[in-house]
Structure 1
Amino acid sequence: MVWVSASTSHAHPFPSAERSVTVRCVSISPREPNHSIRFDEERKWEEKNTKMASRKAISIILRREASKAVIEKKKGPNNSKKLLPRTVLESLHERITALRWESALQVFQLLRQQLWYKPNVGIYVKLIVMLGKCKQPEKAHQLFQDMISEGCVLNHQVYTALLSAYSRSGRFDAAFTLLQGMKSSHNSLPDVHTYSILIKSFLQVFAFDKVKSLLSDMRRQGITPNTITYNTLIDAYGKAKMFVEMEATLIEMLGEDDCKPDSWTMNSTLRAFGGNGQIEMMENCYDKFQSSGIEPNIRTFNILLDSYGKTGNYKKMSAVMEFMHKYHYSWTIVTYNVVIDAFGKAGDLKQMEYLFRLMQSERIKPSCVTLCSLVRAYGRAGKADKIGGLLRFIENSDIRLDIVFFNCLVDAYGRMEKFAEMKGVLELMEKKGFKPDKITYRTMVKAYRISGMTSHVKEVHGLVESVGEAQVVLNKPDF
């Protein structure tokens, strides 16, 4: 097996240019006796201005901090209607970005109480988009009504934001009603962005017939799909393994004059073929995209590594790693997770552990995906002591665990017939605030059944129906 060390202490590929700085020295003539006096006066004046500016800056900072304290308490004193505009808007932006919709709406209500407040369409759109992402269509509709009551001019961006909120929550009837209303209006006509949002929502629920209907409707309206629309279709068809439709969409995209494929197009295509084990097709597509001028990025290489690793092509995987090392592509947590999992499945624990140490030395925090790969590898290799060491590492870290990790632990101990440790995982789960799911108990039943422990099988089998449904987990890394 070929292995290339992934040391990241590289020189930058573009060395910084040398800069020459010329310093001009001016001598002070002793024939100018008043120069030192003027210099002192200027220095004192400058110091005075600096102190005044400093006090002013401190005053502004203190006022902003006081305003933020009022916002956090959400119940201000009588002057809560005189908060600094910048402070309130910053607080609102922070909450919108973090998708803290309840807190964002509270800050927005505080904003509307200010003496300086004027309705702003842009702020409303951002709030409605946020509520759509948080699956709060009713709240989004309420804000839409508030806009109307405040006399805001409704444009296609407002309607598109509300349509997005409906479609994200699966309220397609409401979304279609809104779309029909937009089509009959004069200043809020739907555009390619409006249709692309609806198409993406239908693709997420595999309603491909609805997608075809929307594409036909777009053409009747004289709206041409853009790169984002095509990329969304290609990605969805690839994930659904609908390769005929994916290729047809790609060909149609290539036929458009103003719609060129980009790195997202390439990555979606490579992931579709590579994830399905069609390595030769993936490589052919990679060559064609590159020859057309589309440059690979870190996601491209992560997809290649994952595809080669899953098919056991470690030589090509190492070649990709060498290329990344040579051209200074910085590894991400996804890169590390992909290669750690690949070497773990190959039983190469030495390289797997080396990568895990390298990951930490690069200050990249391991995730639950990383830990699961390690546990699975140790379980297959019968290394119970290694799992114990990993658990001690976790105890001294702040890594957020999930139910999938504990199920991996149960499976690993069950494989090694370490039944006491397997039952101990249930106690560890309780300690960490997790409850077993169906996968947990089914994994235990499988382990007991393989070892012929019939009484234990009956004991645990009765617990399977008493717990909630198992969580759906995506095995593919988030590229």
Structure 2
Amino acid sequence: MASPSCPALSFLSSSPSSSSSSSSSSSSFFGHVLRSSRLQSSQARCFLALRSQPRKPTSRSPPERRQRPPPRPSSPPKSPEEVKKRHWRVGEFPGASEGSLGSPRATPIKNLKKKLEKKEEAKAWVPTVTEFLSEKIQKKDWQGALEAFSMLRDQPFYTPREGTYVKLLTLLGRSGQAAEAQALFDDMLEEGLPPSATLFTSLLSAHARAGDLDKALAVLNEMKSHPPACHPDAHAFSAVLRGAAAASRFDIVDQLCIDMAARGVPATPATRNAVLSGYAAAGRLDDVERHLAAMLEAGEVDSWTMNIVLGLAANGGHISVMERWYERFRGAGVEPETRTFNVLIAAYAARGMWDKMAAVLEHMRRSGFTWTTATYNNVIEALGRAGEGRHMEWAWEQMRAEGMRPDVRTFCGLIEGYGRAGLFHKVVEVVEMVGRTGAPLTVRFFNAVIGACARAGDLAEMERVFQRMKRAGLKPDEDTFSVMGRAYAQEGMSDKIYELEQERLHGGLEPTQPDPPGLSP
């Protein structure tokens, strides 16, 4: 059963008075703000929890004054005997006499620095081929890594090693270069290096990541024909299972599960979570229930499993099912994490359940859970949907004060919130900030700007943003055409609606992908 410190969802029924650990000045100030606004008491609890989140000291605070050290006592005057006596003959360089107490003149620091720089330049370090290859692999530059490996193979001291090929195959697989991985594997066989289970697993992982399940299964079957040392293990089966679950090929998933049971290969929790995530993405709730019941009986559930199941229920709008599964996971001894609370906050905020959202925020603060970028994104989006641009801006300022790095979702939430609140000058500031930070421009970002322009009635700027979106190589989705169509309909511009519909039919559409609640980086 759940521990008494966090008994399942009991914190959802907590009263506002339980969060009295915040400072009195902050509470009184924010209470005055809430009394002068149009927010309800349930929304006020949410903002009070936000206000009571402790701030980190900023770099703009005035520095502390340093006390000046007391002056050193002056040395007594030297006697005439202690004064340096310098003498030399005609044609000799000046020098100190034997009786002189002075030390030779020190070399200036500036000259020493120049000498050190010259020495460093003279001893310029040139990386070797192996170091150059390691650097390219670390930077995930697969093209540079292949060029460096080609140079390494031309060296007279080159010897094929399994570790080098494993790193290269893994890099090519994560970069989506399955064909290059297969060609590298064939070159390895020509060099006479015997394959191993690790090399085969790296190769089939590359094919599975690329979505080529047929080749991944062919490599898996080839492993079975080799000696027992090359037989597929849990990692090899997991790689193919993840690819099959992501592609919704559940026939392959069931076949591989039967094969694993016949060979006595145990499934890892990561493998089960991957399969569970595939069932959840495909909306196969019965399979999710069956798979999850088996995991609960085997005691192989963790916080990742809980996040997958809660996210599935939240995306479907089943709040009661989400709360029931939360209690069941807590009863099984699974401890929630920050990502878990982000899923709950996003689900409650999307449906305007301010009481429960405020209770989760207060529970996170009392339990010592740090608010992440995803937490602030959920709060900013919730305040934006409520039309509270002023409070949303306060949350944004606190996020920056705590050193949280904003992402594209943060900027989209700010633009949408300012657009709903009618603060269009703030929209311009956010767009300029995105340009300065160099954040990646996505379809959702352009949709948010287009929606703000449509609310402001600036259709000329809306069209310019739409053209810039296409020049950036991004494909408009259903939300783009829907927002622009409504803006043209309000102005009675039937010709623009016709042109937009023709572009929608002939230009193709990019399907709209909603963000999973609370699962952003």
Task: Please give the TM-score of this superposition, normalised by the length of structure 1.
Answer: 0.78
Deviations 1:339-364 (A, max 9, x none): 21122112232321111111222232
Residue type of the partner of 2:316?
N
1:93 aligns with 2:133: no
Partner residue of 1:315?
355
Q: 8 Å contact 1:347–1:377 — kept in the other structure?
A: yes
Partner residue of 2:143?
102
> Which one is further off, 112-121 or 305-314?
112-121
Partner residue of 2:178?
137
> Which one is further off, 242-251 or 437-446?
437-446
Partner residue of 1:463?
503
Deviations 1:417-454 (A, max 9, x none): 33233234246558x84566355455323321233221
Partner residue of 2:256?
214
1:437 aligns with 2:476: yes
State how far apart, in whole Å, the 2-side matches of 1:318 and 1:151 are.
64
Say which SS state the counterpart of residue 255 (structure 1) adopts: helix
Q: 1:434 and 1:172, CA in 2 relative to 1: closer, same or farther beyond 3 A?
A: closer
Q: Per-residue deviation at 1:332?
A: 2.2
Deviations 1:292-330 (A, max 9, x none): 332222211211211221222222222222222223322
State how far apart, in whole Å, the 1-side matches of 2:275 and 2:412 are.
32
Q: Per-residue deviation at 1:116?
A: 4.1
**Aligned to 1:162, which of 194, 198, 203?**
203
State how far apart, in whole Å, the 2-side matches of 1:282 and 1:455 are.
47
Say which SS state the counterpart of residue 443 (structure 1) adopts: helix
Residue type of the partner of 1:406?
F
Q: What is the aligned-residue identity percentage?
A: 32
1:185 aligns with 2:185: no
Q: Per-residue deviation at 1:140?
A: 0.7
1:204 aligns with 2:243: no
State how far apart, in whole Å, the 2-side matches of 1:167 and 1:446 are.
43
Q: 1:166 and 1:414, CA in 2 relative to 1: closer, same or farther beyond 3 A?
A: same
Partner residue of 2:54?
7
Q: 8 Å contact 2:342–2:378 — kept in the other structure?
A: yes
Q: 1:155 and 1:466, CA in 2 relative to 1: closer, same or farther beyond 3 A?
A: same
Q: 1:468 and 1:106, CA in 2 relative to 1: closer, same or farther beyond 3 A?
A: farther
Deviations 1:178-206 (A, max 9, x none): 22221222221111221111111111121
Q: 1:220 and 1:464, CA in 2 relative to 1: closer, same or farther beyond 3 A?
A: same
Q: 8 Å contact 1:403–1:434 — kept in the other structure?
A: no
Partner residue of 1:152?
193
Residue type of the partner of 2:237?
Y
Q: 8 Å contact 1:438–1:465 — kept in the other structure?
A: no
Say which SS state the counterpart of residue 152 (structure 1) adopts: coil
Q: Per-residue deviation at 1:368?
A: 1.8
Matches within 5 A, 1:249-288: 249-256=291-298, 260-288=300-328
Q: 1:454 and 1:106, CA in 2 relative to 1: closer, same or farther beyond 3 A?
A: same
Structure 2, unpaired ranges of 5+: 1-42, 58-115
State how far apart, in whole Å, the 1-side matches of 2:183 and 2:374 are.
40
Deviations 1:120-173 (A, max 9, x none): 212211211221222222211111112212222311111111111122222222
Residue type of the partner of 1:9?
K
Q: 8 Å contact 1:91–1:107 — kept in the other structure?
A: no
Residue type of the partner of 1:102?
Q
Q: 1:151 and 1:373, CA in 2 relative to 1: closer, same or farther beyond 3 A?
A: same
1:354 aligns with 2:398: no
State how far apart, in whole Å, the 2-side matches of 1:159 and 1:59 are.
46
Q: Per-residue deviation at 1:63?
A: 5.3
Q: 8 Å contact 1:442–1:464 — kept in the other structure?
A: no
Q: Which structure is larger by alpha-carbon Rg, 1 or 2?
A: 2
Matches within 5 A, 1:316-331: 316-331=356-371
State how far apart, in whole Å, the 1-side matches of 2:496 and 2:336 are.
53
Q: 1:441 and 1:246, CA in 2 relative to 1: closer, same or farther beyond 3 A?
A: closer
Deviations 1:5-63 (A, max 9, x none): 222439xxxxxxxxxxxxxxxxxxxxxxxxxxxxxxxxxxxxxxxxxxxx9xx979955
Q: Per-residue deviation at 1:337?
A: 1.4
State how far apart, in whole Å, the 2-side matches of 1:282 and 1:460 are.
40
Q: 8 Å contact 1:334–1:478 — kept in the other structure?
A: yes
Q: 1:324 and 1:442, CA in 2 relative to 1: closer, same or farther beyond 3 A?
A: closer
Structure 1, unpaired ranges of 5+: 11-54, 68-82
**Aligned to 1:236, which of 262, 270, 278?**
278
Q: 1:389 and 1:9, CA in 2 relative to 1: closer, same or farther beyond 3 A?
A: closer
State how far apart, in whole Å, the 2-side matches of 1:230 and 1:462 are.
46
**Aligned to 2:237, which of 172, 190, 195?**
195
Deviations 1:195-249 (A, max 9, x none): 1111111111212222112211222222232211211122222233322211211
1:302 aligns with 2:346: no
Q: 1:471 and 1:247, CA in 2 relative to 1: closer, same or farther beyond 3 A?
A: closer
Partner residue of 2:97?
none
Residue type of the partner of 1:128?
L
For these two proteins, the number of residue pairs brought into alignment is 411
Partner residue of 1:226?
268
Say which SS state the counterpart of residue 230 (structure 2) adopts: coil
Q: 8 Å contact 1:448–1:457 — kept in the other structure?
A: yes
